[in-house]
């Protein structure tokens, strides 16, 4: 059957449109992810996945980026032993002596004004950590805090807990940041001192006050990443370019 010229032109336009659409999709496929890791599983390049609550997920994609997924919930996910909340999933590896830990953290969304912890405000934190155990831990986070109807406050949050007590809480004025763009975080151990710093490009670093850790902390500690939330909304921060080097 011979098609009229107008019908042929229409079919040709549709066909070309479909080809163009397929070509665009082929140029930017989504990053594939591995199945969610189970607690105790070793994630190559990142360490051991510790997932206290099964509803949380840890996944690495084919580009090597790591995502920690916290679901919508009415409870906090934290590493704050002083308030009895140490259920935040984390991925860590052992390191002995002096070292430098660096990671790139992608943008972190605002938590919303409602907090799932009655003694804390709404909070999201994508962090690197150095820990002896969940009662003795140093946390450096790309964080967003939200107090009631006020605007979200993005900042670099540097905290230390010793024997389940807070030795140092972070402050939004310590090192304010923006909501957009990447942020590199770095923790360095030098003997019994931990140095924290942050950078937007991984080259120029801004330092926070250093912190002494007790002699009781062993030479071998664990270092890695975690996701912390006191928000009722789901939170899935992404981490890239982890390096942990012994100095």
pLDDT tens sequence across 211-224: 999 999 989 999 99
Nearest-CA neighbor of 101 among 71, 124, 129, 78? 129
- The Cα–Cα gap between 247 and 189 comes to 9
pLDDT(25) > 80: no
Residues 23 and 145 in one domain: no
Residues 71 and 191 in one domain: yes
Tally of domains in the chain? 2
Nearest-CA neighbor of 152 among 183, 119, 117, 125? 125
Rg of the chain over all Cα atoms, to the nearest angstrom? 22
Mean pLDDT, all residues of the chain: 88
Higher pLDDT among residues 57 and 37, named by residue: 57
- The Cα–Cα gap between 48 and 238 comes to 17
Side-chain-side CA neighbours of 201 within 13 Å: the count stands at 2
pLDDT(124) > 90: yes
Cβ pair 46, 225 in contact under 8 A: yes
Side-chain-side CA neighbours of 229 within 13 Å: the count stands at 26
CA distances from 7 to 15, 21, 73 (A): 12, 21, 55
Residues 123 and 137 in one domain: yes
Residues 141 and 227 in one domain: yes
Residues 78 and 139 in one domain: yes
Q: Which of 46-50, 148-152, 236-240 has the lowest mean pLDDT?
A: 148-152
Residues 14 and 114 in one domain: no
Residues 19 and 2 in one domain: yes
Helix (H/G/I), strand (E/B), else coil: 52: coil
pLDDT(243) > 70: yes
Residues 149 and 205 in one domain: yes
Residues 119 and 237 in one domain: yes
Q: What is the CATH number of the domain that holds 204?
A: 2.60.120.200
pLDDT band at 35 (very low <50, low <70, confident <90, very high): confident
pLDDT(29) > 70: no
Q: Which domain holds residue 233?
A: 31-246
Residues 78 and 186 in one domain: yes
Residues 109 and 188 in one domain: yes
pLDDT(3) > 50: no
């Amino acid at each position: 059957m011979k098609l009229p010229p107008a019908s042929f032109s229409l079919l040709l336009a549709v066909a070309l449109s479909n080809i163009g659409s397929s070509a665009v999709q082929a140029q930017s496929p989504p990053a594939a992810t591995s199945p969610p890791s189970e607690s105790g599983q070793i994630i190559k390049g990142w360490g051991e996945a510790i997932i206290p609550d099964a509803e949380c997920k840890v996944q690495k994609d084919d580009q090597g980026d790591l995502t920690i997924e916290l679901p919508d919930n009415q409870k906090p996910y934290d590493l704050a032993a002083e308030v009895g909340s140490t259920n935040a999933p984390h991925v860590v590896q052992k390191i002995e002596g002096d070292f430098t830990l660096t990671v790139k953290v992608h943008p972190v969304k605002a938590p919303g004004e409602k907090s799932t912890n009655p003694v804390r405000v709404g909070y999201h934190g994508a962090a690197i950590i150095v820990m002896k155990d969940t009662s003795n831990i140093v946390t450096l986070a790309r964080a967003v805090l939200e107090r009631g109807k006020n605007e979200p406050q993005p900042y670099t949050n540097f905290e230390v807990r010793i024997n389940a007590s807070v030795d140092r809480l972070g402050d939004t004025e310590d090192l304010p940041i923006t909501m957009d763009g990447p942020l590199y975080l770095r923790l360095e151990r030098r003997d019994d001192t931990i140095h924290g710093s942050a950078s937007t490009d991984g080259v120029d670093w801004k330092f926070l006050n250093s912190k002494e850790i007790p002699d009781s902390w062993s030479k071998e500690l664990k270092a890695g990443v975690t996701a912390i939330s006191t928000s009722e909304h789901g939170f899935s921060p992404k981490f890239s370019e982890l390096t942990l080097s012994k100095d």
